[in-house]
Amino acid sequence: MKRTSRIPGFYKVTVEERRSLVAEATGEDAASIGRSLDGGGLDAETADKFVENVLGTYALPYGVALNVRVNGHDYVVPMVVEEPSVVAAASNASKMVRAGGGFVAEVDAPIMTSQIQLTAVTDYPRAREAILAHEAEILERANRSIPGLVARGGGARGVEVRSLGDASDQMMVVHVLVDCQDAMGANLVNTVAEAVADRLAELASGKVGLRILSNLCDRRCVRVTARVPLDVLATDDMDGAAVADGIVNASRFAELDPYRAATHNKGIMNGIDAVTIATGNDWRAVEAGAHAFAARSGRYSPLATWRREGDVLVGKIELPMALGTVGGTLRVHPGARLSLRLLGTESASQLATVAAAMGLASNLAAVRALATDGIQRGHMALHARSVAVAAGATGELVARVAQMIVEARDITVDAAKRALGVLRKESDSATALGD
Ligand code: MEV
């Protein structure tokens, strides 16, 4: 079957109907979507095996972004997030990008860095030479410690040596670069660090310090480009070219000001974290890598930038992405396993391209809103839907009540109850008249 990410009217139907539509679009069984997600996708007994002192689980909304096309593939993208409008924004922006052919992504090999700190090194040049002369032996030791990964085609690929501080620090660090295949790799890389540390200290005539992965996994970057035709950017009040210029202005603001860059990047992480969490991955690791990468020049910078090229707005994002599709939480979390089935991929690299695309989509939606109506209008429209539900609206009444309270500029449960009363009265008199 051909997967599709286009499901018009999806937001208007019930949760149950959405499950059926996603089942049709992805080939997943609707009942299994329900089974995997009811109870938050994780029962207390399984949760008790994840962490310590468990009392229960803590659920968050699980939505899907639609309209997403990356490298010619359609993806229904699972997103776990508590913030209203993130999923809608990613879907809307993906539709705009789709009009220009979809996201185009490239991804590095899944190389993670294992760090071994060495202290009390009195002769760095000699230590460096000795370690590099024994690179093959170090790689062999590393690979002996991770036979499963080597059997899957991964393993240690290279050794780097760096001096830290000045001579009085007597400190250096050795990086062992490890191809982690479809694993996020933290455990593998930590195992490698511990396996080679003593030999490295011996070669450097120093002492072993810390042995741990680096979350600045800049060997494992993903780059995504979006080319958006100007006309699809237009709003009721602004033409596409004016919106594009506003978006370029927003990009320049983030490029010139770290205070703005932090917020710009927060909007990007709205999309990336939501996919990271939905797929059972370590979002703190992804966050740490993203922000360290954003500051790599010594100045905190935006992870995504936008420029106009004639009739097209071009957005680019680049960041490290340590995501896995095997091991850890993923094996045992039914919700995370469902996410990979909905995405239709077992490849960590493919998952990384989708997550980065959702970062770029979230950024496009945010800067477009900021460059036009401002962010509050869209937020309020969505907030109005939850207020309508809180007032007792169901089915198609949700959207109608929400629209009425937005138009009245009174987004409160009382106003929603009044609107609901009016609509119900209208519907009763229509029934009485035989409409
Ligand atoms: C809110 O979650 C994210 C934004 O602040 C991002 C931005 O300002 O670019 C809207």
Tokens of 27: 């080939």
How many angstroms separate the CA atoms of 97 and 233, rounded?
Answer: 10
Supply the CATH classification number for the domain 111-214. 3.30.70.420
The question of whether 218 is a catalytic residue gets the answer no
How many angstroms separate the CA atoms of 27 and 110, rounded?
Answer: 29
**How far is the centre of ligand 1, averaged over its atoms, from the C-alpha of 82 (Å)?**
14
Specify the pLDDT at position 324: 97
Query: Phi and psi at residue 395, in whole multiples of 5°?
Result: 55, -135
How many angstroms separate the CA atoms of 323 and 339, rounded?
Answer: 13
Specify the pLDDT at position 431: 67
pLDDT per position as a tens digit, 241-267: 999 999 999 999 999 999 999 999 999
Q: Is the CB of 270 under 6 A from ligand 1?
A: yes
pLDDT, mean of each 10-residue run, the chain (435 residues): 91 93 96 91 89 95 98 98 95 98 98 98 98 98 98 98 97 98 97 98 98 98 98 95 98 98 98 97 98 98 98 98 90 92 97 98 98 80 85 89 91 94 85 62
How many angstroms separate the CA atoms of 343 and 350, rounded?
Answer: 10
User: Which sequence spans correspond to the domains of the chain?
Assistant: 10-108+221-373, 111-214, 392-434
Whether residue 249 contacts residue 127, with contact meaning beta carbons closer than 8 Å, is answered with: no
Active-site residue (options: 266, 316, 383, 417): 266
Q: Is the CB of 22 under 6 A from ligand 1?
A: no
DSSP state, 167?
G
Mutation to probe ligand 1, out of 82, 303, 370 (largest number of atoms < 8 A from CB): 370
Distances (CA, A) of 238 to 99, 233, 235, 246: 19, 9, 5, 10
Residue whose CA lies nearest to ligand 1 atom number 3: 267
Q: Does the predicted model carry a pTM greater than 0.75?
A: yes
How many angstroms separate the CA atoms of 388 and 394, rounded?
Answer: 8
Supply the CATH classification number for the domain 10-108+221-373. 3.90.770.10
**How far is the centre of ligand 1, averaged over its atoms, from the C-alpha of 267 (Å)?**
4
How many angstroms separate the CA atoms of 156 and 393, rounded?
Answer: 58
Specify the pLDDT at position 434: 59
Specify the pLDDT at position 433: 62
Specify the pLDDT at position 2: 83
How many angstroms separate the CA atoms of 28 and 31, rounded?
Answer: 9
Computed over every residue of the chain, the mean pLDDT equals 95
Give alpha helix (H) positions in 152-225. 186-204
Active-site residue (options: 73, 95, 379, 383): 379
Q: Do domains 10-108+221-373 and 111-214 have the same CATH topology?
A: no
**How far is the centre of ligand 1, averaged over its atoms, from the C-alpha of 358 (Å)?**
14
Residue 257 CB burial class (10 angstroms; 0-12, 13-18, ≥19) = middle
The question of whether 333 is a catalytic residue gets the answer no
The question of whether 108 is a catalytic residue gets the answer no
DSSP string for residues in 279-307: TT--HHHHHHHHHHHHTTTSS---SEEEE
